[in-house]
Amino acid sequence: MATYSQDILIVGGGITGVALAYGLAGSGRRITVLDRQTPTNRASRTNVGLIWVQSKFLHLPDYARWGFLSSRAYPELVAELEAVSGLRIPVQFRGGLIPVLGEAEYRQRGDYIVKLRETLGEYRGDMIDRAALDALLPGIRFGREVTGAAWCEEDGVIEPLALLRAYRAALPRKGVELVDRDVLDVRPREGGGYQAITDNGIFEAETLVLAAGLANRRLARFALNDVPLYPDMGQVLLVERMPYVMPIPVLGATQTFGGTVIIGFRHENSGHRMSVEQKGVSGEGQWAMRVWPELADKRVIRSWVGLRVMPNDGMAIYSRLPGHANAYLICTHSAVTLAAAHTRLLPPFLLGGELPETARGMTLQRFGIAC
Ligand SMILES: Cc1cc2nc3c(=O)[nH]c(=O)nc-3n(C[C@H](O)[C@H](O)[C@H](O)COP(=O)(O)OP(=O)(O)OC[C@H]3O[C@@H](n4cnc5c(N)ncnc54)[C@H](O)[C@@H]3O)c2cc1C
């Protein structure tokens, strides 16, 4: 069996793996990303594309700050990726909205924003009333129960498949190899470094980065039996194409750049089930029609399930593996939102340095795992 040798091996070429690889390009290291599409590890290809930092997370202020850092790094990154890849990436950096129904919900969301602002010291958002919401999105006739929305100017939306494609097209131009292989196993090599055993050859490197989504649980077993990570199921309805009226994304009923509307925001811990169930989507469908009644006259043209890569406490995991100074575990459930932070801010850590201060609490140590 052929053996290939590199400095850094990244297992997983979803949005996390490619964002890290792109950030590492230019470090002078020889880098290979190994990726093979699997039926369950599809979060990078089934998501909504929100760059979403509002309401995240009062109980995890550093995680909230990390999201803001990513959102602020995004515009320059997208411009660069477009130039390097030669591909256009549809994106809006004009904020985001969470509509509320009734007065009680309006007050509740408003209280949350007040607390968030107190905790973070700064927060570029607020509640807006119905008149302001109508003025922001004049092409949408909101339902009569809608009293306003939570608004954050640092949110946005990107065409997630275009982002993934652009990263993947840019990598070879930056000298990074992207190789289609099924990684069957990874293990430490005698005398140092790591081996990835694939369906076609063995890949070796000094440094290993596991960015394979939920498959990280299996691939990390050489160092950690129980990765604190679970599949968090999202079920989504796709509504037929309508004229483009949502340049500012609405959480829960988000219009894509192509004009279709994605409904669905539920989180369920149901193992690896991949089938859509009516009870899992009907509540969100009803909510969406109360917010945007015109949807009631439209056809649902597709539905799908996607499994989020969810660390047990809802934060990201950026960590060395226990006993392995050169093996890294990267798992996040908001990897589109965080792609810019992953590209711009994580590479020094993967090259042996420290995590950025805001992300220092995101290692495995918080789960009581020495690393
Ligand atoms: C319905 C839904 C909506 C979402 N909406 C948003 C959103 O609006 N904004 C946001 O920020 N996030 C959103 N997310 C979350 C986001 O999609 C994930 O955080 C992100 O996709 C995780 O990316 P990843 O690269 O870490 O993992 P994955 O997407 O799982 O990618 C892992 C990659 O590794 C490959 N792989 C796995 N095992 C192997 C192996 N053995 N050999 C070779 N390759 C392998 C897989 O094929 C895949 O390409 C959403 C998720 C869902 C399910």
pLDDT tens, position by position, 61-118: 999 999 999 999 999 999 999 999 999 999 999 999 999 999 999 999 999 999 999 9
Tokens of 221: 């077993």
Q: Is residue 80 part of a domain?
A: no
Residue at 79 is within a domain = no
Given a cut of 90, is residue 275 above it in pLDDT? no
Report CA(272)–ligand 1 centroid distance (Å): 14
**Same domain, residue pair 184 and 141:** no
List all residues 6 or more positions away from 307 whose beta carbon is below 8 Å from its beta carbon.
40, 41, 42, 43, 214, 231, 232, 233, 234, 272, 274
Question: Which residue minimizes the CA distance to atom 41 of ligand 1?
Answer: 183
Tell me which amino acid residue 158 is: I
pLDDT tens-digit series, residues 208-217: 999 999 999 9
DSSP structural state of residue 360: G
Q: Is the CB of 148 under 6 A from ligand 1?
A: no
Residue located nearest, by CA, to atom 31 of ligand 1: 14
Q: How far is the CA of 282 from the centre of ligand 1 (A)?
A: 24
CB of 16 sitting under 6 A from ligand 1: yes
Give residue-wise pLDDT tens across range 138-184.
Answer: 999 999 999 999 999 999 999 999 999 999 999 999 999 999 999 99
Confidence of residue 277 (pLDDT cuts 50, 70, 90): confident
Q: Which of 15, 40, 47 to mutate to test the pocket of ligand 1 (most atoms within 8 A of CB)?
A: 47
Cβ–ligand 1 distance for 234 under 6 Å, the answer yes
CA distance 265 to 371: 34
Residue ID of nearest Cα to ligand 1 atom 48: 14
Tell me which residue of 68, 90, 77 sits closest to 246, measured CA to CA.
Answer: 90
* Distance from residue 46's CA to the centre of ligand 1 (Å): 8
Same domain, 137 and 240: yes
List the alpha helices (DSSP H) in 137-186: 160-173
DSSP state, residue 10 = E
- Which of 311, 340, 356 corresponds to the end of one domain? 311
Residue 183 near ligand 1, beta carbon < 6 Å: yes
**Residue type, position 84, single letter:** V
Number of folded domains in the chain?
2
Same domain, yes or no: 192 and 105 = no
| Banded model confidence at residue 56, pLDDT cuts 50, 70, 90 | low
Query: What is the distance between the alpha carbons of residues 339 and 44, in angstroms, rounded to a whole number?
Result: 11
Question: Could you tell me the residue range of the domain that residue 112 belongs to?
Answer: 92-154+230-311
Of 43-57, 90-104, 255-269, give the range with the top mean pLDDT: 90-104
What are residue 360's phi and psi, to 5 degrees? -65, -25
CB 40 less than 6 A from any atom of ligand 1: no
Ligand 1 pocket check for 10: Cβ under 6 Å? no
CB proximity list for 128: less than 8 A, separation 6 or greater: 136, 148, 149, 150, 151
State the number of CA atoms in the 13 A half-sphere of 217 facing the CB. Answer: 13
C-alpha distance from residue 52 to each of 6, 249, 252 (Å): 35, 10, 12
Is the pLDDT at 278 greater than 80, yes or no?
A: no
